[in-house]
Structure 1
Amino acid sequence: MTRYSERGASWAALAYGPGFALLGFLAELATGTPHTVAWIIVGLGLAVITAPWIHARRRFLGVRVTDDALWQGRERLPLADIAEVDDVGAPAGARVLGGGWTTPNKFGTLPVRLTDGTVVLAWAKDVEALRTALRAPETA
């Protein structure tokens, strides 16, 4: 069962390019003869280059807490390995979960102490909700 989830990106962003092309077509239609084929190509082209971006964000920036694991991007951390999520300091050089060098932009950081004593950095857009999901495994 999923306790907490962030998708990383929404597939709704795929509609931005074709929407922009539609607005361009309508503006051109209002001012003269529109270039219909060109606007179709622009709309499809923008959708094609947006799809890999959305897929990558969903794959590498997704956060999920299930009953047995914390998923940060493609990295899985068993909840049994987490010792503490409250009042944990972040030492310099702490490893960031998910495989990146730093916490992703626009994401907050949650230092997590593991059962072996090391501290790692979890991340989420809503750090308090992530902390709550990690804190009480038996009540979620």
Structure 2
Amino acid sequence: MSEARYLEPGAKWSALLYGPLFAVLGYLAELLTSTTHTVAWVLVGLGLATITAPWIHARRRFLTVKVTDTDLWAGRESLPLKEISETSDVGAPTGARVLGGGWGTPRKYDELPIRLTDGTVVVAWAKDVRALRAALERT
């Protein structure tokens, strides 16, 4: 497997800790009162972690952007770098195909129109478009 020149994971696994941390804070807040519900807070922490895990997995699968020495990965779609002819000053025509298989650029991501060697334009996306463009232009 090629080394990544650019990697933007859709989510980090550390987000799994948010639910249990919330539960610990809730338990500590209850310690200030006379009653604590230890089992309930354990269940809350486990429940929040359980529903967060598929969310993280889905974001990592569908929103990860990666550039290796050979390919640009946008979500589950791969585009060979040898098919990219231009990344600067490319306008995105209406109806240009968005990489990754979605109907449009994911929310909170910026667009990077890319001209392919066959003349078509596709739209890549990333949170840091400048870094993505630099990684694509590096040979």
TM-score where L is the length of structure 2 = 0.96
Q: Which amino acid aligns with 1:73?
A: G
The equivalent residue for 2:72 is 70
* Cα shift at 1:29: 1.3
Stretches of structure 1 lacking an aligned partner (at least 5 in a row): none
Cα distance in structure 1, aligned partners of 2:39 and 2:4: 45
The equivalent residue for 2:38 is 36
Cα distance in structure 2, aligned partners of 1:50 and 1:57: 11
Write the mapping of 1:1-140 to structure 2, written as runs, cut at 5 A: 1-137=3-139
Stretches of structure 2 lacking an aligned partner (at least 5 in a row): none
Q: Which amino acid aligns with 2:88?
A: D
Q: How many residues align?
A: 137
TM-score where L is the length of structure 1 = 0.96
Cα distance in structure 2, aligned partners of 1:16 and 1:90: 38
* Cα shift at 1:21: 0.7
* Identical columns (%): 71
Query: Secondary structure at 1:31's aligned position in 2?
Result: coil
* Cα shift at 1:64: 0.5
Cα distance in structure 2, aligned partners of 1:41 and 1:100: 36
Query: Secondary structure at 1:2's aligned position in 2?
Result: coil
Q: Which amino acid aligns with 1:50?
A: T
* Cα deviations by residue, 1:66-94 (Å, 9 ceiling, x for unpaired): 00000001100000110110110110010
Cα distance in structure 1, aligned partners of 2:35 and 2:123: 56
Structure 1 stretches of 4+ with a deviation exceeding 3 A read: none
